[in-house]
Amino acid sequence: MSKPACSPATLAARAGVETDTAHGAVMPPLYLSSNYTFDGFKNKREYDYSRSGNPTRDTAGQAIAKLEGGHGAVLVASGMAALDLLTYAVKPGELIFAPHDCYGGTHRLLRCKAERGSFRVRWVDQTDLQKLEQAFAEEAPKLILIETPSNPLLRLTDVRAVCTLAKRYGTLCAADNTFLSPVLQRPFELGADIVIHSTTKYLNGHSDVVGGALISRTPELHQDFAFWANCIGNTGSPFDAYQTLRGLRTLEVRIRQQEKTALQVARFLEQHGAVAKVYYPGLTSHPGHLLACRQQHGFGAMISFEVAGGEEQVRLLVEALEYFSLAESLGGVESLIAHPATMTHASMDEAARAKAGISNQLIRLSIGLEGAQDLLADLTEALDGVLASLPSEVEREVVAA
C-alpha cells in the first residue's frame, strides 16, 4: 500500500535527511568546494563547478520544488535575481503583463529592462478580471506575472481565473508566492507554470540570508532556467543554500504562529482610533476575504494600514515602537515595520505609487515570533501617542482625508 502524500511540514523537516553516503550524517553536509575533480580524462562526475551545480544548493532546491509541487527549482542570489532570470523566458519585442501595484523592486527592474528594449511591459490591475480580459484581447502577453497578496496593499488576485484566461492565449503564468509560502498557497495547483520566491523571506525565515528561487512546473522550463542561470552566473552560494535549508525545516510552525498573531494584531488595528484603514485578508472587511478562503490555506503574517494624520504621525509611530524594527524585508522571526513610500517602494515615482494606491500614510508590518501580547502592548502605546497628537475631531477627519 502506498503512503499518502507528505504534508509540507514533513517534506520540509525531512529534506536531505540521511542522504550522506560517506559517513551516514543525519543532516546533509555543506559542500563549499568551488570545483570537483573529473574521474579521468573526459569523464565528468555529476558536479564539476559550483556555478553550474552544487550538492548543497541542489538539496535545498529539491526541497523547495517538492514543497511547491513543481518539477525543479533554480536557486539564485536574491529574489530580484529570480525575477531577472524569469525575464529570460521573454524575448525583445514580446510583452509582459505585470501588476500595477507590485513590489517596488519588481516595478523598477521590469521598467528599466523594458526601457533598454529587453521586452515590453504593461501594468494591469489583475484584480479586475474584466479589465484583464480586455487587455488580453487587445494584445496577449508572452508572460503574466501575478503577485498575490500584493506588496504592500495585500490585494488578492484570483490565480485560477487568471491562469485559465492566460492559457487560452498560450501565455506563461508566473506567481510570486513570497508573502504566503507553499504552506499557505499552492500556485501550481491553481494553474501557474512558474513560482517565484525571495527565499530571504519566509523560506529562510531568520533574516540572515539573501536568496531567490524560480520553480518550474515542467522539466523543459526548469532546464531552460537552469541553463540561463549557469550562463549569466547568478546561482546562489552553497552556504546560503545551507542556511535556507536549515530555516526551511521550521517553515510551517513559524508561519502558522506568525499568522495567528497577525490576526490578533489586525483586529486590534481595525478598532484603534489612530488607524484609518487596515489591509489584511484575514479580516472579513477585506474585499478579498472570500477569495483568500478559497485559494489560500491561511491569511499570512503581513499587515498594512493607513495611519490617521500626516508625516508627523508616521514618524511618531515608527519611532515609538520597541518590538518592531524599522527595516525593509519581511518573513523573519523578528517583527518589522516599514513605510513603503520612502522604503520598499521609493523607486516608484509619485505618480506610479498614486496609481497603485500607495499613500504616504501607509504602514506595512511583518509579524514575527514575539509574544502577541507584547506586540499588542507596544502598538497600543505607540498608537495612543499618535492619537493624542492628532488635531480635534473635526480637524482630524480633514487631515485623514
Instruction: Give me the active site residues, please.
Output: 51, 103, 176, 201
Q: At what angle do helices 311-320 and 372-389 cross, to 10 degrees?
A: 150
Question: Do residues 377 and 165 touch, judged by C-beta distance below 8 A?
Answer: no
Sheet with 120-124, strands from edge to edge, namely: 72-76, 212-216, 194-198, 172-176, 143-147, 95-99, 120-124
State the pairing for strand pair 95-99/143-147.
Answer: parallel
Separation CA 393–CA 201 (nearest Å): 40
Give the start-end residues of each E strand in 54-107: 72-76, 95-99
What phi-psi label fits residue 233: left (phi over 0), alpha (psi between -120 and 50 degrees) or beta?
Answer: left
Give the start-end residues of each E strand in 30-156: 72-76, 95-99, 120-124, 143-147
Geometric angle at alpha carbon 265, from 260 and 267, rounded to 5°: 100
Question: Do residues 401 and 292 touch, judged by C-beta distance below 8 A?
Answer: no
Instruction: Provide DSSP, 230-282.
Output: HHHT-BPPHHHHHHHHHHHTTHHHHHHHHHHHHHHHHHHHHH-TTEEEEE-TT
What phi-psi label fits residue 42: left (phi over 0), alpha (psi between -120 and 50 degrees) or beta?
Answer: left
Q: Which three cell numbers stand for residue 339?
A: 513605510
Q: Is 126 helix (H, G, I), strand (E, B) or coil?
A: coil
Question: Do residues 61 and 10 touch, judged by C-beta distance below 8 A?
Answer: no
My answer on whether omega of the bond before 152 falls inside 30° of 0, hence cis, is yes
Q: Which three cell numbers stand for residue 195?
A: 513560482
In this structure, which amino acid lies at residue 123?
W
Question: Do residues 229 and 235 touch, judged by C-beta distance below 8 A?
Answer: yes
